Amino acid sequence: MKFEKRKVVLKRMSEAGSNWHAKLVTQLKLTEHQAEYVAALAEGKSVEEIFLKNLEQKQWTDFVGLWNLLEILFKNKLILEPLYEDFTASCGEETRSAKQLASARWDSRSAGKPWSYEEFVAFPFFRSLPPAVQDLLFRQSRLHEIAPACQIIRHGDMDRRLFALLEGQVGVYAALDEHRKIRKHVLPSPSVFGERGFFLNQPRSADIVTLTQCRVASILFPNQLDDLIQKDKAENLSYRLFVLNTIESSPFFQNFSAEIRDRFAFLGKILPYKEQSVVVKEGEFADSMYFVIQGSLSAYQGKTSIRVMKAGDSFGEIALFVNGGQRSASVVCQSECLLLEIRWQDLISLLSQNLKLAKEFQELAVKRLRDDENRKSRVA
C-alpha cells in the first residue's frame, strides 16, 4: 500500500498527554500549516485524507510543508518503520545497476486470463474513451499475475502494449548513466502505463519493474483502433494523442517521468476558445489549471502584460499551489486556442497518492510566480 494511504501512527502518541503534538510543534519549530498537519496525523489521519479534507473544505494544502514535516518526523523516529520504508521508496532515490534492475523479464507471450468489464471501467482512463474504443480494448486485454522484481517494459523497446495495474506497485526507472538506473517514481494501483508506445508507436521511454506481487492487464494494440481514432469526433481521442506530444514539450513537465506526463495527457477536458476570450480573471477563485495545446495567450496583472504563452506552456498552477486559490493574473487568448483544462478535484485525486509529485508541482509554481514578478518589475 502507498504510504499516502496508510493511517499514520506516531510512536510517542501513547507516551504523552492528549496535546503532545502541540508540544511537538514548539519543539520542532513547525509552521502553522505543519502544526495543522501534525495534529491530523496524531489523530491517525493518512496523507491522502489530509489532502481530501482540505479539498472538501476548499482549503489550500502546503505540499512542500507536508513533505518536509514527514521528513522531520522520520528523522526524529516518530513514525513507524514500515511507513518510512514506503515513504523513502516514493522519493525516487534508489539506484540499481542495469544488470540488477530485475530478476526476470515478463513473458509477453503468456496467455493470461480474462478479467471483468467492471474492473476494466473502474479505471478513469478507460471510462474516458468512446464506447466503441472501450469495447475493442477490453476484448484485446488479458490479465496476468506477475511476481516482484519482474521487468514489464524495457527502455527503448518497440512494443505496442498498454498496461493496467490492478493490484501492487511498479517502479519507473530511468538511466542515470551508462551502467546505472534510478527509480524516478512508484506507480500505485490502479494505474495505466505505456500510453506513448501504445498510441504513438514510439520506443519505450523508461524501464517498468514490479516492486510487489502484481495483477496487471495487458492490451495489445488492435489494427482497427487507427480507424476508430480517425472516426472519433464525439470524444476527440485524436486530440489526446496531440496532447501527449504537447505535454512532452512542456517546460512544466521536464522534471517528471514520461509515465507521469502520459497520465496527465488523459486527465481533464479539451476546450476551444475564440480570439480575445478571457480564460481566467485576476483575483477570482481558481479550481483548475490549463495547458496550451494550440494558439497563444497573454497573462496580465492589471494592464501590464507579464507573459505570453504558446503550445506546451501551462498556467493556473500558481493559484492552486501557491496563492491559496486566488488567480494572480488574467489570461486572454491572442488567437483561437485549444486548451486542456484540468480540474483541481481530478488533479488532487492523482496528487493525493503521490506527495512527491505534489511537492514538485508546488515548487515549480513558486518558481513560475517568482519569474512572473521579475518580468513585471523589468517592464515597470
Among 22-31, 123-132, 239-248, 336-345, which is the least confidently predicted range? 239-248
Global pTM reads 0.63
Contact 312, 340 (CB under 8 A): no
Short-list 26, 90, 28, 38, CA closest to 62: 38
Query: Tell me, what's the pLDDT at 317?
Result: 85
SS3 state at 101: coil
Q: Residue 359 above 80 pLDDT?
A: yes
Q: Between β-strands 104-105 and 150-153, what pairing exists: parallel, antiparallel or unpaired?
A: parallel
Chain-centroid distance, C-alpha 216:
20
- Please state, in angstroms and rounded to a whole number, the distance separating the CA atoms of residues 259 and 223: 24
- Please state, in angstroms and rounded to a whole number, the distance separating the CA atoms of residues 340 and 269: 6
Domain at 95-236: CATH architecture: Sandwich (2.60)
- Please state, in angstroms and rounded to a whole number, the distance separating the CA atoms of residues 139 and 141: 6
Identity of the highest mean pLDDT range in 19-23, 144-148, 183-187, 193-197: 144-148
Q: Residue 17 above 60 pLDDT?
A: no
Q: Which residue has the higher pLDDT, 222 or 21?
A: 222
The C-alpha cell that represents 119 in the structure block: 474492473
Please check whether the domain covering 267-379 is classified as CATH 2.60.120.10. Answer: yes
Q: Residue 361 above 60 pLDDT?
A: yes
Q: Which amino acid is at 330?
A: S
Other residues' Cβ atoms within 10 Å of the Cβ of residue 200: 14
Decide whether 95-236 matches 267-379 in CATH topology: yes
Which letter does DSSP use for residue 223 in this model? Answer: T
- Please state, in angstroms and rounded to a whole number, the distance separating the CA atoms of residues 225 and 199: 9
Q: Residue 83 above 60 pLDDT?
A: no
- Please state, in angstroms and rounded to a whole number, the distance separating the CA atoms of residues 376 and 380: 6
Q: Which amino acid is at 313?
A: D
Any idea where the domains of the chain sit in the sequence?
3-90, 95-236, 267-379
- Please state, in angstroms and rounded to a whole number, the distance separating the CA atoms of residues 201 and 261: 16
Predicted confidence (pLDDT) per residue in 313-326, tens digit: 888 888 888 877 78
Task: Give the mean model confidence (pLDDT) for residues 337-358.
Answer: 83
Which letter does DSSP use for residue 160 in this model? Answer: -
Q: Which residue has the higher pLDDT, 99 or 14?
A: 99
Predicted confidence (pLDDT) per residue in 230-259, tens digit: 554 434 555 666 677 677 667 667 666 666
Task: Give the mean model confidence (pLDDT) for residues 302-307.
Answer: 87
